[in-house]
């Protein structure tokens, strides 16, 4: 059920919309404390305190999609990071479907690129309700629709820059919510091995030489695979190094 008349959600999901909010992820945490259940989507017309990975500021002016999904993962957090790949596939399918383009690729660990330009941001955060044992993953997603920031680590783009059809945040959210439900079902029913295989089919840079920037070092090697947990496998002069976090450049 949605409080927005233009939104059509898959079964098992709910939705609350806000014109302006500090952060949809922060609101999701507040809602969990108030008793919100798994499957609640929160959207905002704008965010006044949006964040990306590494506490980077996420420009959140009106016209783009800003949303968060609450997902209860129970007592075990060890597989929670897999949701970043589930989410990037859902965003990838959403953007590719709207643009009718094959040049929409996933970028490790959780970005999506159109024609080599970043078009979304994904931020997963954990939250445990006070006095409760279940853990929640808050899946924050920002998709550039009407505009994109200029000063970023990567060249960026937005959907309406790439399309003859002008899409609204509601249009994009309707597609995203359907794709997210489908990929969550695949993750639950087929397991991460299936998600991993499908992600590798849609990723950018596999088999190529890439640069990985981490806080204390920079590595150059060939991106050869993902391990069973989603870590990037980097071949450096015949030695495989597992990368669990970092920014990659092509």
Report which DSSP code applies to 82.
G
Residue 235 CA, chain-centre distance (Å), reads 26
Task: Give the pair of three-digit tokens for residue 230.
Answer: 């989603």
Structure confidence at residue 52 (pLDDT): 54
Residue numbers of the chain with a pLDDT score lower than 50: 1, 54
CATH number for the domain harbouring residue 233:
2.30.30.100
164 belongs to a structural domain: yes
4 belongs to a structural domain: no
Residue 171 CA, chain-centre distance (Å), reads 17
Structure confidence at residue 235 (pLDDT): 97
54 and 87, same domain (yes or no): yes
Distance, in Å, from the CA atom of 53 to the CA atom of 115, rounded to the nearest integer, reads 22
195 and 214, same domain (yes or no): no
Distance, in Å, from the CA atom of 244 to the CA atom of 128, rounded to the nearest integer, reads 23
Query: How far apart are the two ends of the chain, measured CA to CA in Å?
Result: 42
Structure confidence at residue 63 (pLDDT): 94
105 and 163, same domain (yes or no): yes
5 belongs to a structural domain: no
Structure confidence at residue 58 (pLDDT): 55
Tell me if 237 sits within 8 A of 203, measured CB to CB: no
pTM: 0.92
Boundaries of domain holding 224 = 209-249
157 and 216, same domain (yes or no): no
104 and 225, same domain (yes or no): no
Return the SS3 of 121. Answer: strand
Structure confidence at residue 124 (pLDDT): 95
């Amino acid at each position: 059920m949605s409080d927005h008349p233009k939104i059509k959600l898959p079964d098992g999901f709910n939705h609350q919309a806000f014109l302006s909010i500090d952060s949809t992820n922060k609101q999701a945490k507040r809602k969990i404390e108030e008793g919100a259940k798994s499957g609640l989507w929160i959207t905002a017309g704008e965010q006044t305190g949006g964040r990306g990975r590494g506490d980077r500021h996420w420009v959140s002016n009106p016209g783009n999609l800003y949303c968060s999904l609450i997902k209860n993962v129970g007592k075990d957090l060890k597989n929670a990071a897999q949701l970043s790949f589930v989410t990037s596939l859902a965003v990838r399918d959403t953007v590719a479907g709207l643009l009718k383009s094959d040049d929409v690729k996933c970028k490790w660990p959780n970005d999506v690129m159109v024609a080599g330009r970043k078009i979304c941001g994904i931020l997963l955060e954990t939250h445990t309700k006070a006095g409760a044992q279940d853990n929640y993953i808050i899946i924050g997603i920002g998709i550039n629709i009407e505009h994109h920031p200029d000063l970023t680590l990567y060249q960026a783009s937005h959907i309406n820059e790439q399309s003859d059809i002008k899409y609204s945040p509601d249009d994009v959210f309707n597609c995203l919510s359907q794709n997210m439900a489908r990929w969550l079902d695949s993750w639950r029913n087929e397991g991460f091995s299936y998600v991993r295989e499908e992600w590798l089919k849609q990723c950018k840079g596999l088999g190529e030489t890439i640069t990985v920037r981490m806080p204390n070092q920079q590595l150059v090697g060939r991106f050869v695979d993902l391990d069973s947990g989603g870590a990037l496998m980097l071949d450096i002069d015949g030695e495989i190094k597992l990368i669990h976090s970092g920014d990659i450049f092509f």
